[in-house]
Amino acid sequence: MNLEKSFRVLFLSLFVVVVFAKLANATQEIKKWLRPENIPVPVDNKITPARVELGKLLYFDPSLSRDGTISCANCHNPLMGWSDNQPKAIGVEGREGPRNSPTVLNTAYQIRQFWDGRAKTLEEQALGPIQADVEMDMNLDFLLSKLNKNMGYVALFQRAYPSEGITDKTLAKAIATFERTIVSTEAPFDKFIQGDKEFISKSAQDGFKVFIGKAHCADCHDGFNFTDGSFHNIALGGRDEGRYKIKKRAAWFHAFKTPTLRDIVKSAPYFHDGSVKTLKEATTICATGGRYPNGKNISTFIKDRNLSETEIDNIVEFMKTLSGKTLTVLIPTKFPQ
Amino acid sequence: MNRVPILILVVLSFLGAKDYIVDQKSKTFLPAKISAKVGDRLVFKNSDSFSHNAYSDDEKNEFDIGMQSPAQDIAVELKAPATIAVECAIHPNMLLTVEVK
């Protein structure tokens, strides 16, 4: 009898341990999809209202471009998913850039900026497009001199960065601070993942299961921001060498950063070359091994996953649930003089 | 003549060489920090279900293990004293710091 009792106690203990382990694992699995409470901020550039206000003015001010026609917002428009709904970025004098404008949304959470990840921080990224000849084509020294003569901006910089002056560093910090506040709003998926199942349709729920399971989308489109920041050659073809241009590392040949899927319905067309108009086509390309599966250095993450058309449609339905209300931003129409 | 003691030191150091297992799991290097010595080896494992990579751009300990499939082991020898940053070329959020004495 004693032996039998001992076995019962042992069995019950094991059962409790297994149940708790499974619950802990499930909680951990759900936790990674939850919206973080805070925006990551660098120690030397805390977010303050004065910095956000200044950064917003600079972001929308076309006088930061060489001919006064283009602001950051031309290619990263709040009404177009913080992108521009064009295949390639268009800069001063209608010059076409080599890549699709990536969304600014949730870049605060990314550890590499640009499609090729050449900047580690938003501060490093901010001055690139201002100076690029196919974007704003502005001479930085000239711009800093111009801003230093603008009494409105002088006062705003003084308020935002007391005693630091108007320099390349404070210019970058201010723009980066505004960009850091551009975060996605609560989407139906966020309600669903917290337990309110009715917030997304049955097909979207099925799509999420395929997304994290059979289709392996979440191997890269992982976590709250639906990207782990990883670099892949997804077999689109084309001459753009991507991250390989920065350093000739074999794994970076034609590799580009995994984009966020937050608010993804708002920022078509898709991929670094803007070559795809619909989410269905984009999903089909990723889930069938890419456009040119026999190319060099094709990511091992890009494979034919044998998805049915219904499964692809369901994934698209699921991705639609990642869009929240467009962030309310009062777009400035008057700029400091 | 002066080369003999150096040679003995090198041989002794290699005799005591150690392997440090570095697992790549849940897109993280485990452990994240290692203190080793010249001649020791980093043995990279991949417990994830997808490919990884490990590289170092340190001048004296430069290496790139290329694409590492799941369950594949790849060893790299540490060649010179330095504090080196090892990253995954695919997942830039993965970082391993190795102090080589």
Residues A123-146 pLDDT 10s:
999 999 999 999 999 999 999 999
Whether residue B62 has pLDDT greater than 90? yes
The dihedral over CA atoms of B29, B30, B33, B38, expressed in degrees to the nearest 10, equals: -90
* Residue recorded with tokens 């700029």: A335
Report how far apart, in Å, the C-alpha atoms of A282 and of each of A115, A236, A271 are.
17, 10, 8
Q: Which fold has domain A188-320?
A: Cytochrome Bc1 Complex; Chain D, domain 2 (1.10.760)
Query: Residue B1: its pLDDT value, please?
Result: 43
Residues in chain A closer than 8 A to B90 (CB atoms): 230-232, 251, 299
Q: What are phi and psi of A142, to 5 degrees?
A: -65, -45
Residues in chain B closer than 8 A to A250 (CB atoms): 64, 66
Which residues are within 8 A (CB) of A154 and not within 5 positions of it... i.e. 6 or more apart?
A147, A148, A166
Query: Residue A21: its pLDDT value, please?
Result: 58
Cβ <8 Å between B93 and A228: yes
Q: Establish if A249 touches chain B: CB-CB under 8 angstroms.
A: yes
Cα(A203)–Cα(A201) distance, integer angstroms: 5
Contact B96, B29 (CB under 8 A): yes
Query: Residue A328: its pLDDT value, please?
Result: 87
Residues in chain B closer than 8 A to A117 (CB atoms): 92
Query: Residue B16: its pLDDT value, please?
Result: 80
Rounded to the nearest angstrom, the minimum Cα separation between A216 and chain B is 10
Size of interface A-B (CB pairs under 8 A): 41
Rounded to the nearest angstrom, the minimum Cα separation between B11 and chain A is 34
Report how far apart, in Å, the C-alpha atoms of A193 and of each of A186, A188, A189, A324, A337 are.
11, 9, 6, 14, 48
Hey, of B46, B90, B94, B95, which one would you mutate to test binding to chain A, going by the most A CBs within 10 A of its CB? B90
Global pTM reads 0.90
Below-70 pLDDT ranges, chain A: 1-3, 7, 14-28
Cβ <8 Å between B92 and A249: no
Query: Residue A260: its pLDDT value, please?
Result: 98
The beta-carbon contacts of A294-298 under 8 Å, at least 24 apart in sequence, are A295/A233, A295/A235, A295/A237, A295/A254, A296/A233, A296/A253, A296/A254, A297/A233, A297/A250, A297/A251, A297/A253, A297/A254, A297/A255, A298/A233, A298/A234, A298/A235
Cβ <8 Å between B50 and A251: no
Residues in chain A closer than 8 A to B54 (CB atoms): none
Report the percent of chain A where pLDDT is more than 90: 89
Q: What are phi and psi of A266, to 5 degrees?
A: -90, -15
Report the percent of chain B where pLDDT is more than 90: 83
Nearest CA in chain A to B93: A111
Rounded to the nearest angstrom, the minimum Cα separation between A255 and chain B is 9
Between B16 and B34, where is the model more confident? B34
Architecture of domain B17-100: Sandwich (2.60)
Mind telling me the catalytic residues of A? 135
How many CB atoms lie under 10 A from the CB of residue A312?
22
| CA-based nearest residue to A121, from A131, A139, A108, A130 | A108
Query: Residue A2: its pLDDT value, please?
Result: 67
Q: How confident is the model at residue B8 (pLDDT cuts 50, 70, 90)?
A: low
Give me the residue spans of the domains in chain A: 49-180, 188-320
Tokens encoding B72: 């594949």
Residues in chain B closer than 8 A to A29 (CB atoms): none
Cβ <8 Å between B90 and A229: no
Rounded to the nearest angstrom, the minimum Cα separation between A296 and chain B is 13
Superfamily of the domain at A49-180: Cytochrome c-like domain (1.10.760.10)
